[in-house]
Amino acid sequence: MIYLNNKLVPKNKALISVFDHGFLYGDGIYETLRVYKGIIFKLEEHVDRLFRSAEMIGLTVPKSSRDIKKAVYKTIASNRQNEAVVRITISRGTGPLGLDPALCPKPTFVIMSNQFYNYPSEYYAKGVNVSVVNTRRNYGPALDPRIKSLNFLNNVLAKIEAKESSSYEAVMMNYQGYLAEGTVSNLFFINSKGVLCTPALKVGILDGITRGVILDAAEELKIKTKEGYFRRKDIYNATEVFITNTSMEVMPVTLVDNIRIGRKAGTHTGLIGLKYKEKVLHYIEANSQ
């Protein structure tokens, strides 16, 4: 079942208009969440980010934060999914052609939940490959990467480049050539001094919810962290590299632009990955009654 506007409808009835400005102009926002044992991890943080994205595009979210949380739980319950990936999408809504948001009186609100299938275990054991692509991450003052928007062409173009070089994920730099983020992930690496490094938010990236949990996990593990401006050579010289997002969690990277970083997941990456899982378990325990 799909939650569409105010009710659950069967998948084949979950249809929206060709005049929807999400379809016509990519005018809208979304969130992806992960469900573990029937509990949505970091639901509060995701809903907060949804509201922040909405505010940054001048969109009034058609529901309260409380009602959104209820609707998400209702959706996963209706699909009897305990392990799932949920997507909340809000578009500007249906209206005549034209860019003026005022043409769309009512935003379109959708919640979809899909069964979560584990990524292949060898990805976590052996690591994946990434390539630093030519497509630059959107320039902040043009389209701020902090907005989790439906306008995803920047990322799609980077993904096409990654596919051309048979890479699992693309790493984009910002307009100045500083490492930014993946098409659907944040980037981390361990430098030669054992410091966990990740591009600073100021570089122009999405403030990943997983990224935040990883930085907390590193602190608990007493691993030093640095959020900063890094160059391509910094990941070439890294001892470990990994990427993160809500569904893949901590994914080791062992090949960057065909440069070998390792043959298997690094020690720090392993520890951080385990700490992440521990934090998920604590969260589930604390939030299930």
Give the interface with ligand PMP as residue ranges (CB under 6 A): 32, 155, 181, 184-186, 206, 208-211, 244-246
Shortest gap between Cβ of 94 and ligand PMP (angstroms)? 26
Cβ proximity to ligand PMP: between 94 and 269 the closer is: 269
User: Are 84 and 35 a contacting pair, CB within 8 Å?
Assistant: yes
Nearer to ligand PMP, 155 or 167 (CB): 155
Structure tokens at 147: 């907005």
Say if residues 15 and 70 touch (Cβ distance below 8 Å). no
Least separation, in Å, of the C-beta of 279 and ligand PMP?
Answer: 13
What's the closest the beta carbon of residue 249 comes to ligand PMP, in angstroms?
9
Q: Which of 225, 255, 231 is nearest to 243 (CA)?
A: 255
User: What's the closest the beta carbon of residue 77 comes to ligand PMP, in angstroms?
Assistant: 23
Q: Are the C-beta atoms of 189 and 62 separated by less than 8 Å?
A: no
Sequence-distant (≥ 6) Cβ neighbours of residue 93 within 8 angstroms: 20, 21, 104, 105, 106, 107, 108
Distances (CA, A) of 125 to 21, 48, 188, 246, 273: 42, 33, 17, 19, 11
- Residue 218 is which amino acid? A
- Which residue lies nearer to ligand PMP by CB, 211 or 275? 211
Q: How far is the CB of 43 from ligand PMP (least distance, A)?
A: 12
CA–chain centroid gap for 150, Å, is 13
Q: Nearest approach, Cβ of 161 to ligand PMP (angstroms)?
A: 15
Of 92 and 148, nearer to ligand PMP (C-beta) is: 148
The full DSSP string for 202-216 is: GGT----HHHHHHHH
Q: Which is nearer to ligand PMP, 34 or 92 (CB)?
A: 34
Residue with tokens 């098409």: 183
Nearest approach, Cβ of 155 to ligand PMP (angstroms)? 6
* Other C-beta atoms lying within 10 Å of the C-beta of residue 20: 19
* Residue placing its CB nearer to ligand PMP in the complex, 21 or 211: 211
Nearer to ligand PMP, 20 or 181 (CB): 181
